[in-house]
Structure 1
Amino acid sequence: MLWENLLKSDYHDWRGSGHSEDLLDKPGWLEQWLAIHNLPYPGTPSAEELDDLKRLREHMLRIVQKLTVRESADPADIHELNRALSSGPIILHIAESDSDYRLESTPLRAGWPRIVAEVAASFGRLLAESDPSRLRICGNPDCLVVYYDETRNHSKRFCDDKACGNLMKVRRFRARQKAAKTDGSQIHSTSET
């Protein structure tokens, strides 16, 4: 999803190295991201346009953080989401193909304001048309990736069960082993006295 990939652009190494990187600053990343979502690349963004994308990412993340703990989003964050939506006005029109009709939209503006509006609309559709209570932040404290839990029982805890899920399972196992060794050595030292 468009909004999800923008949130993932604030990368944190899920393995725990402490490395983090803002992919929006990485050459070529924006062009690849837009190509994946069939959006035109408007060229290298100005510093202000890049700040607009980062600000939108920050507001969306704060909304997700509130929703994952069952709190209402801050009105200021919703206001900023609406401001981003207003930067890309569109014209709606009916298109006909063979035997059916569909509603299409054509942006009135090109460039980065349109991209910001597309991202905000993608996130807005999720909030309005899906179940926001299914938004999650990965349970790996080193990862923090935001995802939408599509499991039947709403039980997904990690963005990727094979990566973060296995890593956390190994960490819990090692912590139990270490605690068992510590408990065992304490029992030995008390029985010797």
Structure 2
Amino acid sequence: MDRLWTDFVNSDYHDWRGGDRSEDRLGKASWQRDFLERWQLNASVPASPEDELSMRNFRNELIALGARLSSGALLTDVEKQWLNDVMEAGHVRRKLNTIDQELKLQLIAVEAHWHQVMAEVAADFAMTLVEGEGGRIRICDNSDCRWMFYDDTRSRTQKYCDDKMCGNLMKVRRFRAKRKFQN
């Protein structure tokens, strides 16, 4: 299941099949447009060079934090303050609406800018920590992939971002290595 924060951090693409191809999609206007549309967020596209730099720095910090938590470390006070600072940059107002005949409380962004988007990403990451646990944050075991994901399996043993892609690829690699060793 994709989450806002995993979609954001995984904008740094690496060829999961082991090729040399990688790209930082964060700076591409098409990725920015798709991301904003998918998550129903608003900001100017293309992002300014300053906003791109802020987003890259934020993404790198979030990846580092996710990696630390995936290894079993606990959230420090400094990291908690960092998340709070990022979330504070995004101002929202609350509005009660009826959607599909059901009452919903919506948080509506006061301004449409990339700092608001980063605040929403940080809030989604914080909700992941509140609702689950940091130990469920994983980095795909396929070293070529590097995608980050949240392990929502009951057994807490998910190793790959996608069993059909990275999981199958690694299974084939293990099989071939074992077969090569036997010959």
Q: Percent identity?
A: 36
Paired residues, number: 181
Contact 1:59 1:80 (C-alpha < 8 Å) held by counterparts: no
1:30 deviation in Å? Answer: 0.4
Give me the CA root mean square deviation.
Answer: 2.1
User: What's the secondary structure of 2:93's corresponding residue?
Assistant: strand
Structure 2 Cα separation of the partners of residues 99 and 11 of structure 1: 40
Extract unaligned runs of 5+ from structure 1: 182-193
Structure 2 Cα separation of the partners of residues 107 and 67 of structure 1: 29
User: TM-score when scaled to structure 1?
Assistant: 0.84
**Mapping of residues 24-103 of structure 1, within 5 Å:** 24-95=26-97, 101-103=103-105
User: TM-score when scaled to structure 2?
Assistant: 0.88
Counterpart position of 1:17: 19
Contact 1:52 1:116 (C-alpha < 8 Å) held by counterparts: no
Structure 1 Cα separation of the partners of residues 177 and 101 of structure 2: 62
**Mapping of residues 111-190 of structure 1, within 5 Å:** 111-181=113-183
User: What's the secondary structure of 1:166's corresponding residue?
Assistant: helix
1:66 deviation in Å? Answer: 1.0
Contact 2:14 2:21 (C-alpha < 8 Å) held by counterparts: yes
Bigger mean CA deviation after superposition, 40-49 or 163-172: 40-49
1:97 deviation in Å? Answer: 7.5
Bigger mean CA deviation after superposition, 88-97 or 167-176: 88-97
Bigger mean CA deviation after superposition, 40-49 or 98-107: 98-107
**Mapping of residues 99-110 of structure 1, within 5 Å:** 101-110=103-112
1:65 deviation in Å? Answer: 0.8
Query: CA 1:80–1:47 in 2, change beyond 3 Å: closer, same or farther?
Result: farther
Extract unaligned runs of 5+ from structure 2: none
1:93 deviation in Å? Answer: 4.4
Contact 1:59 1:77 (C-alpha < 8 Å) held by counterparts: no
Query: CA 1:117–1:18 in 2, change beyond 3 Å: closer, same or farther?
Result: same
Flag the structure with larger Rg. Answer: 1
Structure 2 Cα separation of the partners of residues 54 and 76 of structure 1: 20
Residues 118-156 of structure 1, C-alpha deviation per residue, up to 9 Å, x if partnerless? 111111111112232211111101001111112121121
Residues 20-57 of structure 1, C-alpha deviation per residue, up to 9 Å, x if partnerless? 11001223110111101111242321111111111221
